[in-house]
Homo-oligomer: A and B are copies of this chain.
Amino acid sequence: MTEKRRSRVTLQQVANHAGVSRATASLVVRGSPHISKETREKVLNSMKELGYVYDRVAANLRSHRSSTVGLIITEIGNPFFSDLLAGVHESLDQEGYTVILGTTFDSPAKQDELLSTMLEYRVGGVIMSPVPGCSVDMVERLKQWGIPVVLVAREELPMRQFDYVGIDNVAGGRLATKHLIQQGHRRIAFIGGFSGSSVWRDRKKGYCEALEQAGIELDESLLIQSLTTRKGGMEAMKRALELPNPPTAAFCYNDVVAFGAMLGLKEVGMMPGRDIAIVGFDNIQESAIFHPPLTTIAAFPERIGVHAAHILHKRMTGETSEPKRLILQPELVVRESSSGIPHSS
Protein backbone atom coordinates (compact mmCIF):
# COMPACT_ATOMS: atom_id res chain seq x y z
CA MET A 1 0.00 0.00 0.00
CA THR A 2 2.99 2.26 0.01
CA GLU A 3 6.61 2.83 -0.65
CA LYS A 4 9.85 2.11 1.11
CA ARG A 5 11.44 4.89 2.99
CA ARG A 6 14.95 5.86 3.79
CA SER A 7 17.02 4.69 6.64
CA ARG A 8 16.09 5.69 10.11
CA VAL A 9 18.64 6.53 12.76
CA THR A 10 18.23 3.86 15.40
CA LEU A 11 18.69 3.97 19.11
CA GLN A 12 21.59 1.56 18.64
CA GLN A 13 23.40 4.08 16.52
CA VAL A 14 22.81 6.76 19.08
CA ALA A 15 24.12 4.45 21.78
CA ASN A 16 27.24 3.64 19.79
CA HIS A 17 27.85 7.28 19.12
CA ALA A 18 27.52 8.12 22.78
CA GLY A 19 29.48 5.12 23.91
CA VAL A 20 26.70 3.56 25.99
CA SER A 21 24.42 0.59 25.63
CA ARG A 22 21.14 0.62 23.80
CA ALA A 23 19.30 0.04 27.06
CA THR A 24 20.82 3.13 28.60
CA ALA A 25 19.99 5.22 25.58
CA SER A 26 16.42 3.95 25.82
CA LEU A 27 16.20 5.09 29.42
CA VAL A 28 17.42 8.53 28.45
CA VAL A 29 14.87 8.85 25.66
CA ARG A 30 12.11 8.06 28.08
CA GLY A 31 13.43 10.49 30.66
CA SER A 32 14.23 7.95 33.33
CA PRO A 33 15.52 9.51 36.56
CA HIS A 34 18.01 6.70 37.21
CA ILE A 35 20.56 8.10 34.82
CA SER A 36 23.55 10.23 35.64
CA LYS A 37 23.66 13.70 34.27
CA GLU A 38 26.74 13.09 32.20
CA THR A 39 25.42 10.06 30.38
CA ARG A 40 22.14 11.78 29.80
CA GLU A 41 23.83 14.70 28.16
CA LYS A 42 26.13 12.54 26.11
CA VAL A 43 23.16 10.63 24.75
CA LEU A 44 21.07 13.73 24.19
CA ASN A 45 23.90 15.25 22.21
CA SER A 46 24.33 12.20 20.07
CA MET A 47 20.60 12.17 19.37
CA LYS A 48 20.72 15.71 18.11
CA GLU A 49 23.83 15.18 16.09
CA LEU A 50 22.49 12.13 14.35
CA GLY A 51 18.97 13.49 13.93
CA TYR A 52 17.36 10.71 15.89
CA VAL A 53 13.61 10.27 15.79
CA TYR A 54 11.88 8.11 18.33
CA ASP A 55 10.09 5.15 16.81
CA ARG A 56 6.83 5.02 18.65
CA VAL A 57 5.60 2.12 16.58
CA ALA A 58 8.46 -0.12 17.60
CA ALA A 59 8.17 1.07 21.17
CA ASN A 60 4.45 0.35 21.31
CA LEU A 61 5.03 -3.07 19.83
CA ARG A 62 7.54 -4.01 22.44
CA SER A 63 5.95 -2.40 25.45
CA HIS A 64 2.37 -3.42 24.79
CA ARG A 65 1.22 0.09 25.35
CA SER A 66 -0.39 2.52 22.98
CA SER A 67 -0.77 6.25 22.85
CA THR A 68 -3.14 6.02 19.92
CA VAL A 69 -6.86 6.52 20.25
CA GLY A 70 -9.51 5.65 17.71
CA LEU A 71 -12.35 8.07 17.13
CA ILE A 72 -15.32 6.72 15.21
CA ILE A 73 -18.10 9.04 14.19
CA THR A 74 -21.06 8.55 11.91
CA GLU A 75 -20.86 11.54 9.60
CA ILE A 76 -18.46 14.42 9.34
CA GLY A 77 -20.92 16.49 7.35
CA ASN A 78 -23.14 17.27 10.31
CA PRO A 79 -21.71 20.14 12.38
CA PHE A 80 -22.81 18.34 15.51
CA PHE A 81 -20.19 15.71 14.84
CA SER A 82 -17.48 18.04 13.68
CA ASP A 83 -17.92 19.92 16.96
CA LEU A 84 -17.81 16.65 18.87
CA LEU A 85 -14.69 15.74 16.97
CA ALA A 86 -13.13 19.07 17.82
CA GLY A 87 -13.78 18.50 21.52
CA VAL A 88 -12.39 15.00 21.56
CA HIS A 89 -9.44 15.84 19.40
CA GLU A 90 -8.32 18.83 21.37
CA SER A 91 -8.56 17.15 24.77
CA LEU A 92 -6.81 14.00 23.65
CA ASP A 93 -4.15 16.00 21.92
CA GLN A 94 -3.42 17.82 25.15
CA GLU A 95 -2.95 14.54 26.96
CA GLY A 96 -0.43 13.46 24.37
CA TYR A 97 -2.56 10.99 22.47
CA THR A 98 -2.72 10.69 18.75
CA VAL A 99 -6.07 10.28 17.08
CA ILE A 100 -6.99 7.86 14.33
CA LEU A 101 -10.19 8.89 12.63
CA GLY A 102 -12.96 6.74 11.20
CA THR A 103 -16.34 7.53 9.67
CA THR A 104 -19.11 4.95 9.46
CA PHE A 105 -21.65 6.86 7.35
CA ASP A 106 -24.22 5.01 9.44
CA SER A 107 -23.28 1.62 8.04
CA PRO A 108 -23.00 -1.20 10.59
CA ALA A 109 -20.65 -3.11 8.29
CA LYS A 110 -18.37 -0.11 7.98
CA GLN A 111 -18.39 0.26 11.74
CA ASP A 112 -17.22 -3.31 12.26
CA GLU A 113 -14.56 -2.81 9.64
CA LEU A 114 -13.32 0.31 11.39
CA LEU A 115 -13.24 -1.39 14.76
CA SER A 116 -11.18 -4.13 13.17
CA THR A 117 -8.79 -1.58 11.76
CA MET A 118 -8.48 0.02 15.16
CA LEU A 119 -7.61 -3.36 16.63
CA GLU A 120 -5.05 -3.94 13.92
CA TYR A 121 -3.48 -0.61 14.72
CA ARG A 122 -3.27 -1.44 18.40
CA VAL A 123 -5.18 1.58 19.57
CA GLY A 124 -5.17 2.05 23.31
CA GLY A 125 -8.80 3.13 23.43
CA VAL A 126 -11.79 4.06 21.32
CA ILE A 127 -14.40 6.80 21.39
CA MET A 128 -17.34 5.94 19.23
CA SER A 129 -20.75 7.10 18.22
CA PRO A 130 -22.50 3.81 17.46
CA VAL A 131 -24.52 3.20 14.33
CA PRO A 132 -28.20 2.36 14.82
CA GLY A 133 -28.73 -1.34 14.37
CA CYS A 134 -25.11 -2.29 14.86
CA SER A 135 -24.13 -5.43 16.66
CA VAL A 136 -22.43 -5.31 20.02
CA ASP A 137 -20.02 -8.14 19.17
CA MET A 138 -17.11 -6.16 17.83
CA VAL A 139 -17.36 -3.63 20.60
CA GLU A 140 -17.36 -6.34 23.20
CA ARG A 141 -14.37 -7.85 21.53
CA LEU A 142 -12.40 -4.67 22.04
CA LYS A 143 -13.39 -4.72 25.66
CA GLN A 144 -12.26 -8.31 26.03
CA TRP A 145 -8.91 -7.27 24.70
CA GLY A 146 -8.69 -4.73 27.45
CA ILE A 147 -9.24 -1.78 25.14
CA PRO A 148 -11.54 0.73 26.81
CA VAL A 149 -14.43 2.04 24.75
CA VAL A 150 -16.38 5.19 25.46
CA LEU A 151 -19.67 5.59 23.62
CA VAL A 152 -20.96 9.04 22.75
CA ALA A 153 -24.12 10.76 21.61
CA ARG A 154 -26.10 7.64 20.81
CA GLU A 155 -27.28 4.70 22.83
CA GLU A 156 -27.78 1.71 20.63
CA LEU A 157 -28.04 -1.85 21.90
CA PRO A 158 -27.74 -2.96 25.49
CA MET A 159 -24.68 -0.90 26.06
CA ARG A 160 -24.86 -0.25 29.76
CA GLN A 161 -21.62 -2.15 30.12
CA PHE A 162 -19.73 0.70 28.47
CA ASP A 163 -18.96 4.22 29.47
CA TYR A 164 -21.36 6.60 27.85
CA VAL A 165 -21.52 10.35 27.43
CA GLY A 166 -24.54 11.93 25.86
CA ILE A 167 -27.35 14.37 26.14
CA ASP A 168 -30.71 13.75 27.77
CA ASN A 169 -32.78 13.42 24.63
CA VAL A 170 -36.02 12.75 26.45
CA ALA A 171 -35.65 15.94 28.43
CA GLY A 172 -34.70 17.76 25.24
CA GLY A 173 -37.79 16.56 23.44
CA ARG A 174 -39.94 17.55 26.38
CA LEU A 175 -38.36 20.98 26.58
CA ALA A 176 -38.90 21.66 22.90
CA THR A 177 -42.48 20.47 22.86
CA LYS A 178 -43.42 22.23 26.08
CA HIS A 179 -42.10 25.45 24.68
CA LEU A 180 -44.31 25.11 21.62
CA ILE A 181 -47.29 24.28 23.77
CA GLN A 182 -46.67 27.35 25.87
CA GLN A 183 -46.68 29.38 22.70
CA GLY A 184 -50.24 28.18 22.27
CA HIS A 185 -49.75 25.36 19.81
CA ARG A 186 -51.71 22.15 20.00
CA ARG A 187 -51.00 20.56 16.64
CA ILE A 188 -47.29 19.97 16.81
CA ALA A 189 -45.49 17.71 14.35
CA PHE A 190 -42.35 15.78 15.13
CA ILE A 191 -40.40 15.99 11.92
CA GLY A 192 -37.44 14.11 10.54
CA GLY A 193 -35.13 11.40 11.72
CA PHE A 194 -35.55 7.69 11.73
CA SER A 195 -37.41 5.62 14.32
CA GLY A 196 -34.68 2.98 14.23
CA SER A 197 -32.32 5.21 16.18
CA SER A 198 -32.27 5.53 19.93
CA VAL A 199 -32.00 9.27 19.61
CA TRP A 200 -35.22 9.48 17.64
CA ARG A 201 -37.07 7.30 20.12
CA ASP A 202 -35.89 9.34 23.08
CA ARG A 203 -36.74 12.67 21.55
CA LYS A 204 -40.10 11.33 20.56
CA LYS A 205 -40.64 10.09 24.08
CA GLY A 206 -40.04 13.56 25.43
CA TYR A 207 -42.39 14.94 22.80
CA CYS A 208 -45.11 12.51 23.82
CA GLU A 209 -44.65 13.23 27.50
CA ALA A 210 -45.04 16.93 26.98
CA LEU A 211 -48.18 16.41 24.92
CA GLU A 212 -49.66 14.13 27.50
CA GLN A 213 -48.93 16.54 30.30
CA ALA A 214 -50.80 19.20 28.40
CA GLY A 215 -53.69 16.86 27.75
CA ILE A 216 -53.06 16.75 24.01
CA GLU A 217 -53.66 13.45 22.33
CA LEU A 218 -50.89 12.06 20.20
CA ASP A 219 -51.69 12.11 16.49
CA GLU A 220 -49.51 9.51 14.79
CA SER A 221 -49.85 11.23 11.45
CA LEU A 222 -47.80 14.10 12.84
CA LEU A 223 -44.80 11.82 13.30
CA ILE A 224 -43.03 12.27 9.99
CA GLN A 225 -39.75 10.47 9.53
CA SER A 226 -37.04 11.37 7.03
CA LEU A 227 -33.36 11.26 6.33
CA THR A 228 -31.49 13.45 8.77
CA THR A 229 -30.39 15.82 6.05
CA ARG A 230 -31.55 19.21 4.93
CA LYS A 231 -33.25 17.62 1.96
CA GLY A 232 -34.93 15.09 4.19
CA GLY A 233 -36.24 17.86 6.41
CA MET A 234 -37.58 19.75 3.44
CA GLU A 235 -39.50 16.77 2.13
CA ALA A 236 -40.84 15.88 5.54
CA MET A 237 -42.15 19.38 6.04
CA LYS A 238 -43.89 19.30 2.69
CA ARG A 239 -45.57 16.07 3.63
CA ALA A 240 -46.67 17.70 6.88
CA LEU A 241 -48.26 20.58 5.01
CA GLU A 242 -50.20 18.20 2.80
CA LEU A 243 -51.96 16.69 5.78
CA PRO A 244 -55.74 17.25 5.90
CA ASN A 245 -55.22 19.02 9.17
CA PRO A 246 -51.66 20.41 9.03
CA PRO A 247 -49.65 21.30 12.13
CA THR A 248 -49.13 24.85 13.32
CA ALA A 249 -45.74 24.03 14.76
CA ALA A 250 -42.97 21.49 14.30
CA PHE A 251 -40.35 20.06 16.58
CA CYS A 252 -37.56 18.91 14.27
CA TYR A 253 -35.30 15.96 14.89
CA ASN A 254 -32.21 18.16 14.67
CA ASP A 255 -31.06 21.53 13.41
CA VAL A 256 -30.07 20.29 9.99
CA VAL A 257 -33.55 18.86 9.49
CA ALA A 258 -35.01 22.10 10.84
CA PHE A 259 -33.09 24.10 8.24
CA GLY A 260 -34.53 21.88 5.56
CA ALA A 261 -38.00 22.24 6.97
CA MET A 262 -37.73 26.02 7.03
CA LEU A 263 -36.39 26.07 3.50
CA GLY A 264 -39.37 23.94 2.48
CA LEU A 265 -41.74 26.41 4.10
CA LYS A 266 -40.12 29.34 2.33
CA GLU A 267 -40.49 27.56 -0.98
CA VAL A 268 -44.24 27.46 -0.61
CA GLY A 269 -44.32 31.04 0.51
CA MET A 270 -44.66 30.46 4.23
CA MET A 271 -42.56 32.18 6.81
CA PRO A 272 -41.14 30.09 9.63
CA GLY A 273 -41.69 31.81 12.94
CA ARG A 274 -44.74 33.60 11.64
CA ASP A 275 -46.88 31.11 9.73
CA ILE A 276 -45.55 28.09 11.53
CA ALA A 277 -43.31 27.70 14.56
CA ILE A 278 -40.15 25.63 14.35
CA VAL A 279 -37.87 24.20 17.02
CA GLY A 280 -34.68 22.29 16.27
CA PHE A 281 -32.22 20.24 18.27
CA ASP A 282 -28.44 20.52 18.75
CA ASN A 283 -27.86 24.27 18.62
CA ILE A 284 -25.14 24.04 16.00
CA GLN A 285 -23.49 27.34 15.19
CA GLU A 286 -25.51 27.91 12.06
CA SER A 287 -28.78 27.93 13.94
CA ALA A 288 -28.03 31.38 15.31
CA ILE A 289 -27.42 32.91 11.91
CA PHE A 290 -30.17 31.24 9.94
CA HIS A 291 -33.09 33.43 8.99
CA PRO A 292 -35.12 33.43 11.02
CA PRO A 293 -32.77 32.43 13.83
CA LEU A 294 -33.68 28.95 14.97
CA THR A 295 -35.14 28.17 18.36
CA THR A 296 -33.45 24.97 19.40
CA ILE A 297 -32.28 22.66 22.13
CA ALA A 298 -28.61 23.05 22.96
CA ALA A 299 -26.90 19.65 23.00
CA PHE A 300 -23.29 20.76 23.61
CA PRO A 301 -21.44 18.41 21.25
CA GLU A 302 -18.04 19.83 22.08
CA ARG A 303 -18.59 19.31 25.80
CA ILE A 304 -19.65 15.74 25.15
CA GLY A 305 -16.40 15.22 23.29
CA VAL A 306 -14.31 16.71 26.05
CA HIS A 307 -15.96 14.56 28.72
CA ALA A 308 -15.61 11.42 26.65
CA ALA A 309 -11.92 12.15 26.16
CA HIS A 310 -11.41 12.57 29.90
CA ILE A 311 -13.16 9.36 30.78
CA LEU A 312 -11.20 7.47 28.16
CA HIS A 313 -7.96 8.91 29.43
CA LYS A 314 -8.76 7.70 32.94
CA ARG A 315 -9.61 4.24 31.67
CA MET A 316 -6.40 4.12 29.71
CA THR A 317 -4.42 5.02 32.76
CA GLY A 318 -5.91 2.25 34.80
CA GLU A 319 -9.19 3.35 36.31
CA THR A 320 -11.40 0.31 36.65
CA SER A 321 -14.59 1.52 38.27
CA GLU A 322 -18.07 0.65 37.08
CA PRO A 323 -19.13 1.93 33.66
CA LYS A 324 -19.92 5.61 33.85
CA ARG A 325 -22.99 7.27 32.42
CA LEU A 326 -22.70 10.98 31.96
CA ILE A 327 -25.89 12.58 30.71
CA LEU A 328 -25.71 16.29 30.04
CA GLN A 329 -28.84 18.36 30.45
CA PRO A 330 -30.01 20.13 27.32
CA GLU A 331 -31.11 23.75 27.33
CA LEU A 332 -33.79 25.55 25.44
CA VAL A 333 -32.49 28.40 23.32
CA VAL A 334 -35.34 30.64 22.24
CA ARG A 335 -34.91 32.57 19.02
CA GLU A 336 -37.33 33.79 16.40
CA SER A 337 -38.35 30.65 14.57
CA SER A 338 -40.81 29.66 17.27
CA SER A 339 -42.52 32.96 17.84
CA GLY A 340 -45.43 32.36 15.50
CA ILE A 341 -48.91 32.56 16.89
CA PRO A 342 -50.91 29.49 15.95
CA HIS A 343 -53.51 29.89 13.23
CA SER A 344 -56.92 28.66 14.15
CA SER A 345 -57.40 25.39 12.39
Contact = CB atoms under 8 A, between A and B. Distances in A.
A2 B103 contact: no
Interface residues of A, number: 66
A64 B58 CA distance: 11
Nearest to A315: B3
Interface string A156-184: 00000000000000000000000000000
Interface stretch (A16-24, A118-126, A203-211): A118-126
A291 interface: yes
Interface of A: 1-6, 8, 51, 53-58, 60-61, 64-68, 71, 76-77, 79, 82, 85-86, 89-90, 93, 95-103, 116-117, 119-122, 124-125, 141, 144-148, 230, 259, 263, 286, 289-292, 315-318
13 contacts: A1-B96, A1-B316, A2-B67, A3-B65, A5-B145, A53-B116, A53-B120, A57-B57, A57-B60, A71-B101, A86-B103, A98-B117, A291-B292
Given A3-B65, A6-B144, A56-B121, 13 more contacts: A1-B65, A2-B67, A53-B119, A61-B61, A76-B85, A77-B86, A89-B103, A90-B103, A100-B101, A259-B289, A263-B289, A286-B286, A291-B292
